Amino acid sequence: MVQNEKLVDIDCSLREALEEVVLDTIQHAYEISAERLTQETLQGTRYLVAESAVVVPSKDGQTLYLTRGIENNLVLQNLSGVEKQLKTSVYVVHNSQEDIERIGSDSSTTKFDLDALTMCDYGGGVDSASANFTLPLENPDLLNGEQRRYVTRVLTENGDYETAVENLKMMGAEKAVFSFLSPKSLTNVFNYRESKGLETPALISPCVLWDVVKNGGYFAADVNDLDFNGGNWHVRAEPLDRTKL
């Protein structure tokens, strides 16, 4: 593991690396995005970030909660449970309704209409677990209001859509893809579990900030291949000072 100021480069497993950092200092996507403007070395790296995605079912469709802070990150709070579920499924179920209500009412959590975000763009197809929308930087006005709000939330702390777009352009990006769990596949999961008498307060996902140039991808809230025992992942956080333990 190589340490450089607050950056912890992971060349061991993700599990081992997360044991070497202060979890509540893991940076958010907007923080790393801001630093990428002046540090090109950060642009070619993917990061596990402090956000997490929480999808809550309703009769009118699904609501996507995008969280901030370790206290609301249901993934980092339960790594062993998430790892176990991801070995057999692309979905991670969180069974505490109390947790979901607490997170949903937190002022740092932002709620989005998942159908409005995807606008029926199912990425790999209607049967895919993932959906997405693409921000074309040459014509950013093509995005709808919900998509613009999402881009702003991911890429800035309290900024505006125009700032988020300009920041991506400054890094040399030509487009940016924002991916999610697919509304159609989520509906199938929720309906199936209901038919089996299983309660499903929410499905959760880690969030990843991709490198700037990788296939136009940028932010993923549909991570289903997180390998806790594999390397080549990065977090940006304060290293744990074991001399104080």
In tens, the pLDDT along 212-234 reads 865 567 899 988 777 777 767 78
Kindly state the tokens that stand for 204. 């959760």
Q: Residue 167 has what pLDDT? A: 92
Model confidence at 122, pLDDT cuts 50, 70, 90, reads very low
- Residue 157 identity (one-letter amino acid): E
Say whether pLDDT at 130 is over 90.
Answer: no
Compute, in degrees rounded to 10, the torsion defined by CA atoms 9, 230, 181, 87.
Answer: -150
d(Cα 134, Cα 141) in Å, to the nearest integer? Answer: 12
List, for residues 171-180, the tens digit of each pLDDT value.
888 889 999 9
d(Cα 91, Cα 96) in Å, to the nearest integer? Answer: 16
Q: Residue 244 has what pLDDT? A: 57
Sort strands 217-221 and 2-4 into parallel, antiparallel or unpaired. unpaired
The beta-strand segments (E) located in the chain are 2-4, 7-9, 47-58, 61-66, 92-94, 110-113, 130-136, 175-181, 202-209, 217-221, 234-236
Percent of the chain exceeding pLDDT 70 equals: 88
**Other C-beta atoms lying within 10 Å of the C-beta of residue 16:** 14
Place of tokens 């769990």: 181
Q: Residue 116 has what pLDDT? A: 93
Say whether pLDDT at 50 is over 90.
Answer: yes
Q: How far is CA 20 from the centre of its chain?
A: 21
The reported pTM is: 0.90
Q: Which of 47-51, 62-66, 130-134, 209-213 is predicted least confidently?
A: 209-213
